[in-house]
Amino acid sequence: MKTLTATAIQMVSTPDVADNLKTAAALIERAADAGAKLAVLPEYFAIMGQRDTDKLAVAEVFGRGLIQDFLAAQADRHGLWLVGGTVPLAAPGATRVRNASLVFDSTGICVGRYDKIHLFGFDNGSEHYAEADTIEAGNTPLVVDTPFGRLGVAVCYDLRFPELFRSAGEVDIWALPAAFTATTGRAHWEVLLRARAIENQCFVVASAQGGVHQSGRETWGHSMIIDPWGQVLASHDVGSGQASAELKVSQLERVRKVLPALAHRRL
């Protein structure tokens, strides 16, 4: 596939799973109607609870459940590859889940699972987040072979750890579901995304939560697609919506040819 239309879907998810799935379905359909063959949902797309513990009540066993069935059906119905944001999957014990991003091919088959490795912790006196209280960390990067190249998946806070991206080898597209806070997003979101695209000479499709949620939490939004030269091809600032762009193999190949930085690595 020489050219791929990719869409980063942005949401302002609520504590109601059914409501969020309805919103996601409409946005996926809109992306497919516009020609997307790869769509990426944001982190926590199915639930942004009033409390961090709310996701425990809707956790699913890997391979079955309402959220996973929804993702499989959407990918199959629209004939596109779908990175399912993140889904709360059961972990040993009853106090934590795995924050897992599942990749579905265009027939609805789950071909990859990535459990978020780096768990967000932040406390500036007025805002406090501690994902490790309710999430069990993963430990294995994910790269999937697709008709449009090697697709890597990272989630939100992973963006701050460049060693994760380099450890995956040469990747053509990184999908990055996220729910950056407004505070950290305003300062660091775009510059980190562009850095990862530039240093890894790849496309980045970053899908975010973007607005004020029922809990009072405010997420930054600004979902965007970035090319291997670090240019923003498309973006969506706040509220539900999407950013779509054509990802051209010729552009990827040209950047890697004129500036073969990946081949120049020494450490």
Q: By the 8 A CB rule, do 90 and 67 touch?
A: no
Q: Is 156 a catalytic residue?
A: yes
> Within a 10 A sphere around the Cβ of 162, how many other Cβ atoms?
14
Residue bearing tokens 């999957």 = 89
SS3 32: helix
Burial of 250 (C-beta count, 10 Å sphere; 0-12/13-18/19+): exposed
Please tell me the distance from the alpha carbon of residue 169 to that of residue 174, in angstroms, as a whole number: 12
First to last CA, the chain: 33
Active site includes 60? no
110 is catalytic: no
Q: Which among 131, 136, 156, 202 is annotated as catalytic?
A: 156
Catalytic-labelled residue, pool 43, 131, 136, 218? 43
How does 179-196 read in b/e, with b if 16+ C-beta sit within 10 Å?
bbbbebbeeebbebbbbb
Cα–Cα nearest to 113, from 79, 89, 133: 89
Instruction: Check if the beta carbon of residue 116 is closer than 8 Å to that of residue 136.
Output: no
Specify whether the CB–CB gap between 116 and 100 falls below 8 A. yes
Catalytic residue among 37, 55, 60, 116, which?
116
What type of residue is 200?
A: N
Ordered DSSP codes for 171-183: -SEEEEEE--BHH
Kindly list the catalytic residues: 43, 116, 156
